[in-house]
Structure 1
Amino acid sequence: MFLSQENPLKLSLYFRSLAVGSKTGYKLFTLSAVDNLVKIYENESEDICLVERLFNSSLVAVVSLSSPRKLKVCHFKKGTEICNYSYSNTILAIKLNRKRLVVCLEDSLYVHNIQDMRVLHNIRDTPANPMGLCTLCNGESSYLAYPGSSTIGEVQVFDALNLSAKIMIPAHESPLAAMAFNYTGQQLATASERGTVIRVFNVADGSRLWEFRRGVKRCVAISSLAFSPDAMFLCCSSNTETVHVFRLDQPDSPGQSQQNLPQPAETGAGWMEYLSMAVSKSANLLPARMTDVFSQGRAFATAHLPFQGVRSVCCVVSIQKVPRLLVASADGYLYVYEINTAEGGDCVLLRQHKLDGKETEGCPPKAPSGDVVDKPSSSLAMPKPEDSDKLREMKFATELPPEGPLQLDDDSEFPPVTQKTE
């Protein structure tokens, strides 16, 4: 999400961690309970157009509006800058996990080793990507997805851990607008510029697992897709007043016959869902386009926002072991909704939090065409002895979580990194 006069705040929402950038600096929040949004850090030194926090650690990557080609990596608890990099053009997006940091420019991507910030790989001459659309898996696989075409909705999946291309997925006929991995990186959700259909793919072989219809009456600009931690739900926000939550049940078995089709009373489904199932079993009797429309899943739950035309980010997260839908809007509010995980339907607004921030103006200007360099410059390109303190800070700030499966609703799994004792 980028700054504009209509969208004054830059938002980054990862589960219960929220980063807010504005013309006056950036703030970091954590949501420990529905009614308890805590501001854990505030920096008012410069105008921020991009801010990304590494989970709940002390590592933050920022880009300022006044220097849109420079990335700064900071240890916010210490208030120190670990390192900075300069690039050939405006930085449009930053993605990071515990192994990799990815910087997205309009025509290239840089993959860094997050432990020492060395450039490991440069993906050059990518299709024009003026919105900086890309997504990085948060799990061990470190898959990176970005548009494989500027005219159709192809997705290129890149293995950022082994530095090799993995698969190209033909996702949509129209150019891509949003993408998201589930936590493990096994599934990838996509939406196109038309915004009517959401698709979920198996990253291993590119097969389509689910297809959902967000709406049929109008095309929208989808701004956010996010899986729940357990990959049971997928939420989607756009420039409309409605946020959709889709339930990811097991894909239909190809061998299931129409005779075994469950009745509405047996499944608890409505007649629209029953009709969709019936049509999917009689696909050869209807035109292909009609079959596609009826066989697409509908939203399991919806949340209605008090505004439209404002970009937002959303996620489904467990708060005190209860699933909640969070929506952060670029006009400075965080909304917390209750989700009925058994029946779906309309989500109930539980709490609205005001994010203290002032409006920012304009987008980061692009670099002049004559001011282009071949690769980023940094004092950390090749670690030197005098950089040892910085490298220790980077290692400390990116402290790994404990081994074993992650319980994302347990605060102890991603504790904020504490400062070293001298």
Structure 2
Amino acid sequence: MATLSASPNPNPNPNPNFRSPTDQTDHDPESLPQMELHPSSDQDPTPNSNRNFHAVLPTPPEATAPAAAAAPSLLHISFNQDHGCFAAGIDHGFRIYNCDPFREIFRRDFDRGGGIGVVEMLFRCNILALVGGGPDPQYPPNKVMIWDDHQSRCIGELSFRSEVRSVRLRRDRIVVVLEQKIFVYNFADLKLLHQIETIANPKGLCAVSQGAGSLVLVCPGLQKGQVRVEHYASKRTKFIMAHDSRIVCFALSQDGQLLATASSKGTLVRIFNTVDGSLLQEVRRGADRAEIYSLAFSSNAQWLAVSSDKGTVHVFSLKINGGSPGIDRSQSASDPVTSPHSSLSFIKGVLPKYFSSEWSVAQFRLVEGSQYIVAFGHQKNTVVILGIDGSFYRCQFDPVNGGEMTQLEYHNFLKPEAAF
């Protein structure tokens, strides 16, 4: 069971680089959390004075030049919910970047080491979830700190008996992933709503829908190769045996109705309907074993991007008609061709399944062996790629002819001399 505390007596220090949770420029304010946090009655609150984390520097980022004298060590990278921004946890704080146009929009450097192993954004508002990490963590790795950057302080925390593997945020929920358990909290008051047991989940695999509708949550099941889908509106749980091997990566479409999964083999990616668990499509990344690092649907669920340790990002065309109600997949003359098949697909009944596989429409080559995560950009037919080495790529693919993507932009977002 987690314990929690909320810190009263706000000390406003507005940060213009973040929008308020009630800013109407991005989202309906009624759908965003109002962070008036109070301990729930069924849990024992921890003291409000938290001695387990260090004070932050009150000076603005420009005044923290000594901390930025050398390139930081990157501990974490993740996109926000609409892929318009990304967050980087480093060995002495965290940074927030805009994807298009690329620029650093904010950094927070902590004064005594202060490694951040998880940074989860809530769209573009000032509320973040932080977990300590690295050799000198800013916070204990078994705590989730709710950080309000308008106040430059933590306004709440959730404490656990084991290390936090990942955090997922929605406007109405906080989802905390441990090694073998997942906790779902109400965002407004941190009340525990649901607990889920999973198979060993060291990567903290979990995905939540971000559409305005009901919450769909996907996590590993209790068996190898199994995923569990929670439909909270209908109070239904669906188990899908997605692969024979261990699940290493999955992604949800924005509305939560499509699920893409990959196993430890890393050769095939499967797309399922989360409502009935049916297999809708199967695409092939390659023939040899690989580690899949990330999967991402485009906003209209027309494309799927895949990154792996083979150094290639693949984009696949999704030909799912009616698989996800409410998503418009009507195609114009310039819309995509279907994913190419093997030239030997005419004898697919004789030769192994490999020869009838659907292959990617477009590819982009990177450094083999390095870790990259991928998302679709806000400009049409663009992909954003982030590397654990600090690399940022924005590429464009041809939806009709496919082939090699065109690199539009490259930056190293960890370079201290970079001017933003």
Q: TM-score, normalised by structure 2?
A: 0.72
- Whole-angstrom distance in 2 between the partners of 1:357 and 1:131: 27
Cα 1:11/1:154, change in 2 over 3 Å: same
Alignment partner of 1:313 is 2:381: no
- Whole-angstrom distance in 2 between the partners of 1:234 and 1:40: 28
Q: What 5-or-longer segments of structure 1 have no aligned partner? A: 1-6, 254-266, 359-422
Going by fraction, where is helix more abundant, 1 or 2?
1
Count of aligned pairs between the two proteins: 321
Number of the residue aligned with 1:373: none
For residues 173-322 of structure 1, the aligned pairs below 5 Å read 173-216=244-287, 218-250=288-320, 272=341, 275-276=344-345, 278-279=346-347, 285-286=349-350, 290=352, 292-305=353-366, 307-319=367-379, 322=380
- Whole-angstrom distance in 1 between the partners of 2:340 and 2:314: 20
- Whole-angstrom distance in 2 between the partners of 1:269 and 1:95: 33
Contact 2:376 2:383 in 1 (8 A): yes
Partner of 1:294: helix, strand, or coil?
helix
Aligned with 1:351 (options 397, 404, 409): 409
Cα 1:24/1:157, change in 2 over 3 Å: same
Cα 1:165/1:231, change in 2 over 3 Å: same
- Provide Cα deviations, 1:132-188, integer angstroms capped at 9, x if missing partner: 1111111223211111145x21111113456x4520011000010100000111100
- Whole-angstrom distance in 2 between the partners of 1:213 and 1:86: 41
Alignment partner of 1:41 is 2:114: no
Amino-acid identity (%): 31
- Whole-angstrom distance in 2 between the partners of 1:191 and 1:108: 21
For residues 60-139 of structure 1, the aligned pairs below 5 Å read 60-65=128-133, 66=137, 67-124=140-197, 126-139=198-211
Moved over 2 A (4+): 159-162, 250-253, 267-276, 292-296
Partner of 1:172: helix, strand, or coil?
coil
Deviation at 1:104, TM superposition (A): 0.4
Q: Which amino acid letter does the alignment assign opposite residue 319 of structure 2?
A: D
- Whole-angstrom distance in 2 between the partners of 1:286 and 1:82: 63
Q: What 5-or-longer segments of structure 2 have no aligned partner? A: 1-72, 324-335
Greater RCO (Cα-Cα under 8 Å, separation 6 or more): 1
Deviation at 1:286, TM superposition (A): 2.8
- Provide Cα deviations, 1:270-292, integer angstroms capped at 9, x if missing partner: 9845653x45xxx6x436xx2x3
- Whole-angstrom distance in 1 between the partners of 2:355 and 2:74: 39
Cα 1:245/1:189, change in 2 over 3 Å: same
- Whole-angstrom distance in 2 between the partners of 1:225 and 1:201: 14
Deviation at 1:195, TM superposition (A): 0.3
Deviation at 1:250, TM superposition (A): 3.5
Alignment RMSD, CA only? 2.4
Cα 1:19/1:250, change in 2 over 3 Å: same
- Whole-angstrom distance in 1 between the partners of 2:397 and 2:322: 24
Cα 1:161/1:354, change in 2 over 3 Å: farther
Number of the residue aligned with 2:397: 339
Contact 2:162 2:178 in 1 (8 A): yes
Cα 1:118/1:252, change in 2 over 3 Å: closer
Deviation at 1:252, TM superposition (A): 12
Deviation at 1:101, TM superposition (A): 1.2
Contact 1:104 1:134 in 2 (8 A): yes
Partner of 1:9: helix, strand, or coil?
strand
Contact 2:342 2:357 in 1 (8 A): no
